[in-house]
């Protein structure tokens, strides 16, 4: 007999109205568990979430407390599926509940844990979020901020993801200021880094990044910086939710350079169109330019299916890749719906449903950023994408959430 429960209907036409309840019967199956014997032919990082400690006596909006055991256990889960961890660069938590001292501790703990896992990939977010924005008045302060975090991460042996900087967006007066900052940082990095271009739908403070509101001109600036340092740039992650812009930039990346000399990689951060971008179109000056690798927040929530799909792609089974990954796209578009900066609520909700943490509590108190109808629709879409790992547990926990909201 199918598992059933009463769920509120999502009514986008009347977002403030009380939705009617409807009976929902689960129809999905448990996600596949791919074999680690299959190697991927894409690099795939998950921007992994942290597990909050709900028992800590803190002010959750002002302080962060992390359950370190559960947080590292989730990274071990991702590594067991062949996925890499993009550490402490999750833009829905970094600076929105996760401060720099906690981020640095997280990076250190993750790097330590990765040493016990053969082949585990970790790249760590290096930014300027420890700076008080209202006190930043010059580009030199931004450079010093980046250098402080870079030195701390490299001291731990970490690889850098150079995150987009709110402070730089605040004080830069032209593209030349961006060129100056990135030239300085890239010239000093010990090994190739991943650059990071985040659209203002993820963070309004990053509007006009690269010194202009014109996306094409901004792309020219970013590509110019990469062309000046091809051996210091492993790749660039762009999160503009615009697949055509990503493809256009991908085709213009240098064919030489990068970590392995095969060219600078495009790491898709497009949580709306990742399936076709990862599959690629085979067009580009270098072999890596005809496809996108991945550095995605959604891979946290869909890890088992993402791993299985990437394994099929590595075997040349493109249709199976799309058959697995395609049904996850509606779920991802829902999780990343506007206001996009609140997407991590859905990711942590998925981890709770699937038994990877014991509670639905987040750093910064962000579990409150999405409505009950939103989470109910997420539950339906997760089921449709075969992402409920333990259906009985998922139903039990969904019913607990419903009861907390007065639906019994």
Q: What is the pLDDT along the chain (408 residues), one digit of tens a residue?
A: 579 999 998 665 555 556 689 999 999 888 887 666 668 999 999 999 999 999 999 998 888 899 999 999 999 999 999 999 999 987 767 877 889 999 999 999 999 999 999 999 999 999 999 999 999 999 999 999 999 999 999 999 999 999 999 999 999 999 999 999 999 999 999 999 999 999 998 899 999 999 999 999 999 999 999 999 999 999 999 999 999 999 999 999 999 888 888 899 999 999 999 999 999 998 876 557 789 999 999 999 999 999 999 999 999 999 999 999 999 999 999 999 999 999 999 999 999 999 999 999 999 999 999 999 999 999 999 999 999 999 999 999 999 999 999 998
Instruction: Record the tokens describing residue 402, joined without a space.
Output: 């419903």
Q: Phi first, then psi: what are they for 394, rounded to 5°?
A: -60, -40
9: in domain = no
**Residues in the chain, total:** 408
pTM over 0.85: yes
- Asked, for residue 15, whether it belongs to a domain, the answer is no
SS3 262: coil
Any domain includes 239: yes
Q: Is the dihedral of CA 356, 357, 361, 363 positive or negative?
A: negative
149 occurs within a structural domain: yes
Closest CA to 236 of 246, 48, 114: 246
CATH number of the domain where residue 289 is located: 3.20.20.70
Question: CA-CA distance, 347 to 306, in Å (whole number)?
Answer: 14
In a domain, 375, yes or no: no
Residue 181 lies in a domain: yes
Tell me which residue range forms the domain holding 263.
40-336
In angstroms, the Cα distances linking 291 to 259, 280, 281, 343, 370 are 16, 4, 6, 25, 33
Compute and round to an integer the Cα radius of gyration of the chain: 21
Round to whole Å and give the CA distance between 296 and 325: 13
For residue 29, how many other CB atoms are within 10 A of its CB? 11
Question: Strand 293-296 vs strand 44-47: parallel, antiparallel, or unpaired?
Answer: parallel
Q: How many domains does the chain have?
A: 1
- Residue 381 within a domain: no
Domain membership flag for residue 359: no
């Amino acid at each position: 007999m199918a598992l059933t429960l009463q769920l509120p209907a999502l009514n986008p036409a009347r977002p403030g109205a009380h939705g009617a309840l409807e009976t929902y019967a689960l129809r999905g199956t448990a996600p596949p568990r791919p074999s680690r014997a299959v190697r991927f032919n894409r690099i795939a990082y998950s921007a992994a979430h942290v597990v909050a400690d709900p028992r800590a006596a803190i002010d959750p909006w002002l302080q962060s407390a992390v359950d370190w055991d559960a947080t590292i256990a989730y990274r071990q889960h991702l590594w067991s599926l062949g996925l890499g961890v993009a550490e402490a660069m999750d833009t829905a938590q970094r600076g929105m509940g996760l401060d720099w001292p906690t981020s640095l501790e997280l990076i250190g703990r993750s790097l330590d844990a990765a040493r016990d896992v053969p082949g585990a990939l970790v790249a760590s977010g290096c930014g300027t979020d420890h700076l008080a924005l209202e006190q930043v008045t010059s580009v030199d302060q931004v450079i010093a901020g980046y250098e402080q975090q870079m030195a701390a991460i490299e001291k731990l042996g970490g690889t850098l993801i150079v995150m987009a900087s709110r402070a730089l967006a605040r004080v830069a007066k032209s593209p030349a200021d961006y060129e100056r900052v990135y030239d300085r940082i890239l010239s000093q990095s010990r090994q190739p880094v991943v650059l990071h271009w985040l659209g203002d739908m993820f963070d309004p403070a990053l509007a006009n990044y690269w010194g202009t509101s014109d996306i094409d001109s901004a792309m020219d600036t970013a590509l110019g910086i990469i062309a000046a340092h091809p051996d210091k740039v492993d790749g660039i992650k762009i999160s503009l939710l615009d697949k055509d812009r990503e493809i256009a930039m991908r085709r213009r990346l240098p064919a030489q350079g990068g970590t392995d000399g095969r060219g600078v990689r495009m790491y898709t951060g497009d949580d709306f169109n990742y399936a076709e971008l990862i599959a690629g179109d085979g067009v580009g000056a270098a072999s890596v330019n005809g496809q996108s690798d991945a550095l995605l927040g959604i891979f946290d929530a869909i890890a088992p299916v993402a791993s299985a799909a990437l394994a099929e792609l590595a075997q040349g089974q493109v249709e199976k890749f799309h058959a697995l990954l395609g049904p996850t796209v509606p779920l991802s578009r829902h999780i990343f719906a506007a206001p996009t900066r609140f997407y991590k609520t859905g990711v942590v909700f998925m981890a709770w449903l699937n038994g990877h943490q014991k509670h639905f509590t987040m750093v910064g108190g962000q579990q409150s950023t999405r409505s009950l109808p939103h989470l109910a629709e997420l539950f339906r879409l997760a089921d449709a994408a075969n992402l409920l790992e333990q259906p009985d547990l998922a139903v039990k926990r969904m019913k607990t959430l419903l009861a907390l909201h007065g639906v019994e």
